[in-house]
């Protein structure tokens, strides 16, 4: 079995021009795996600690290298546990979750190369999915950006379109791109800016969240699709980043407001509609709307199996956003995904707003059989890279 011979860290730029970490892991059979770590603008309180001093991250990688050189490259769980134990804290605050995850993902890619199989197939192997049972995720295109992802006045963070029905990735990407272009034409006709936000979606100054939903509905129709039947809408409220939802939803309560817009518009998914610690209302929104709309937790769960178990016990939400950098290792990411699937929760693999050109999450979404992938608009290179990788994987599987 191939063994780790060297681990090398370097400072690179993410899509916002901020420094982040990239790691190369080398093995004695000549293979090399590479990973780079994104970061979020709106982060959950319970995420793994992110070390922002990248020089210190590189130093920490050097210290971990001593413990990891000589380990078998395919022993993902053992390597991850060694790093977790070396850190010794609950939230990886000693070494940094980004430090540990960069090595964890690079090890996975190096192992796939060593085994001479595509990354998504290797992920499926170590996760436990049959290679005869691959499914392609449904993309969620964030085509209007607001909140912390854009310099505009929209309180809600993401307004997404979701191609519905039994379709290929190629068909879904084509449809998403077509609606995206229709939306651009509509915004231009309104005399508004078509500049884009962090995740590639347009960031016009609109009068309300409902105006954004109206524009999406219009773009879907103009593209020749039937709202909800052919193309649904998803929203990411990012409620934990909003000091007070009441003025936004007035005169309705937040839950009644979500009920109203999911009736008026083809809304099929609501993410982080409530604050990350508002368990009582998470239970209520799931009970009230969960049979009609996917109620998704991101900041609520932070890819943490303990937080997810709390949600399962309370019947809070019926879906989860999976972001490996929220928890810090691939092994722990797998654990949370498995728990979610066992409980019948929808699994959505997600990017971050400060992304890199890495396509790992595309392979991850296929490898674990996720229902959805969220990786921005069909615009900006770091977003399109993930969609293009999904197109390649689908071509290989057909």
H runs (alpha helix) in the chain: 54-68, 76-87, 97-114, 119-127, 169-189, 209-222, 246-249, 254-264, 279-289, 305-314, 324-327, 330-342, 360-367, 381-397
Per-residue pLDDT, 44? 74
Q: Is the confidence at residue 149, as pLDDT, over 60?
A: no
Q: Are residue 76 and residue 173 in the same domain, yes or no? A: no
Task: Answer whether residue 261 is part of any domain.
Answer: yes
Beta bridge partners of 154: none
Q: Are residues 98 and 151 in the same domain?
A: no
Looking at the fold, whether 27 and 112 belong to one and the same domain comes out as: yes
Among residues 57, 85, 116, the one where a domain terminates is 116
Active site residues: 199, 323
Contacts of 101 (CB under 8 A, 6+ apart): 35, 37, 48, 324, 325, 328, 329, 330
Element housing 321 (H / E): strand 319-322
3-state secondary structure (DSSP) of residue 160: strand
Give 215-229 pLDDT, tens digit per residue: 999 999 999 999 999
> Looking at the structure, do residues 156 and 39 belong to the same domain, yes or no?
no
- In 3D space, the residue among 170, 156, 201 whose CA is nearest the CA of residue 183 turns out to be 201
**Same domain, residue pair 189 and 41:** no
Q: Answer whether residue 20 shows pLDDT above 70.
A: yes
Closest C-alpha to 220, from 171, 175, 167, 253 = 175
In a domain, 133, yes or no: no
Which 8-state DSSP code applies to residue 265?
A: S
Digit-coded pLDDT (tens) for 263-290: 999 999 999 999 999 999 999 999 999 9
Residue 42 banded pLDDT, cuts 50, 70, 90: low
The reply to whether 63 and 146 lie within a common domain is no
Residue % of the chain over a pLDDT of 90: 89
- 374 three-state secondary structure: strand
Residues 69 and 201 in one domain: no
- Look up the CATH number of the domain holding residue 81: 3.30.390.10
Please check whether residue 24 lies inside any domain of the structure: yes
242 lies in a domain?
Answer: yes
DSSP secondary structure letter of residue 72? B
174/368 Cα distance (integer angstroms):
24
Q: What φ, ψ does residue 118 adopt, rounded to 5°?
A: -60, 150
pLDDT of the residue at 328: 97
User: Which pTM value belongs to this model?
Assistant: 0.96
What is the side-by-side strand order in the sheet with 4-13?
A: 4-13, 19-27, 32-36
Residue 40 has pLDDT above 90, yes or no: no
Domain count, the chain: 2
Range of the domain at 355: 138-397
What is the rounded CA–CA span in Å between residue 278 and residue 301?
Answer: 12
List the CATH number of the domain containing 180: 3.20.20.120
Tell me the pLDDT band of 181, cut-offs 50, 70 and 90: very high
User: What sections of 128-252 are H helices per DSSP?
Assistant: 169-189, 209-222, 246-249
105 and 163, same structural domain? no
Identify whether the C-beta of residue 296 lies closer than 8 Å to the C-beta of residue 330. Answer: no
184 within domain boundaries: yes
- Tell whether 173 and 55 lie within a shared domain: no
Whether 66 shows a pLDDT value over 70: the answer reads yes
Predicted confidence band of residue 250 (pLDDT cuts 50, 70, 90): confident
Residue 129 counted as domain residue: no
Does any domain span residue 131? no
- Rounded to the nearest integer, the mean pLDDT of the chain is 95
């Amino acid at each position: 079995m191939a063994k780790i011979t060297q681990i090398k860290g370097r400072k690179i730029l993410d899509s916002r021009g901020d420094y982040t970490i990239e790691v190369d892991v080398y093995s004695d059979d000549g293979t090399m795996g590479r990973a780079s770590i994104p970061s979020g603008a709106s982060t959950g309180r319970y995420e793994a600690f992110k070390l922002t001093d990248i020089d210190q991250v590189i130093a920490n990688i050097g210290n971990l290298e001593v413990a990891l050189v000589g380990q078998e490259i395919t022993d993902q769980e053992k390597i991850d546990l060694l790093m977790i134990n070396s850190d010794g804290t609950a939230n990886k605050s000693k070494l940094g979750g980004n430090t540990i995850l960069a090595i964890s993902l690079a090890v996975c890619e190096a192992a796939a190369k060593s085994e001479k199989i595509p990354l998504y197939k290797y992920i499926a192997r170590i996760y436990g999915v049959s290679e005869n049972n691959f499914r392609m995720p449904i993309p969620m295109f964030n085509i209007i950006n607001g909140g912390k992802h854009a310099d505009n006045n929209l309180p809600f963070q993401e307004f997404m379109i979701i191609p519905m029905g039994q379709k290929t990735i190629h068909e879904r990407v084509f449809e998403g791109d077509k609606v995206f272009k229709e939306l651009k034409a509509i915004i231009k006709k309104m005399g508004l800016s078509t500049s884009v936000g962090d995740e590639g979606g347009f960031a016009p100054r609109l009068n309300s969240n409902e105006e954004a939903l109206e524009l999406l509905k219009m773009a879907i129709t103009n593209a020749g699709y039937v709202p909800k039947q052919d193309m649904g809408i998803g929203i990411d409220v990012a409620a934990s980043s909003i000091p007070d939802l009441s003025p936004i939803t007035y005169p309705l309560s937040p839950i009644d407001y979500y009920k109203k817009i999911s009736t008026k518009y083809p809304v099929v998914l609501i993410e982080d509609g409530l604050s990350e610690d508002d368990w009582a209302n998470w239970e209520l929104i799931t009970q009230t709307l969960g049979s009609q709309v996917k109620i998704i937790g991101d900041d609520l769960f932070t890819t943490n199996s303990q937080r997810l178990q709390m949600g399962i016990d309370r019947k809070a939400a019926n879906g989860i956003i999976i972001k490996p950098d929220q928890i810090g290792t691939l092994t722990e990411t797998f654990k949370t995904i498995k728990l979610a699937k066992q409980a019948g929760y929808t699994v959505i693999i997600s990017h971050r707003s400060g992304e890199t050109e890495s396509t790992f999450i595309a392979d991850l979404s296929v490898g674990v059989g996720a229902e959805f992938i969220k990786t921005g608009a069909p615009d900006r290179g770091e977003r399109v890279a993930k969609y293009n990788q999904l197109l390649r994987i689908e071509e290989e599987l057909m």
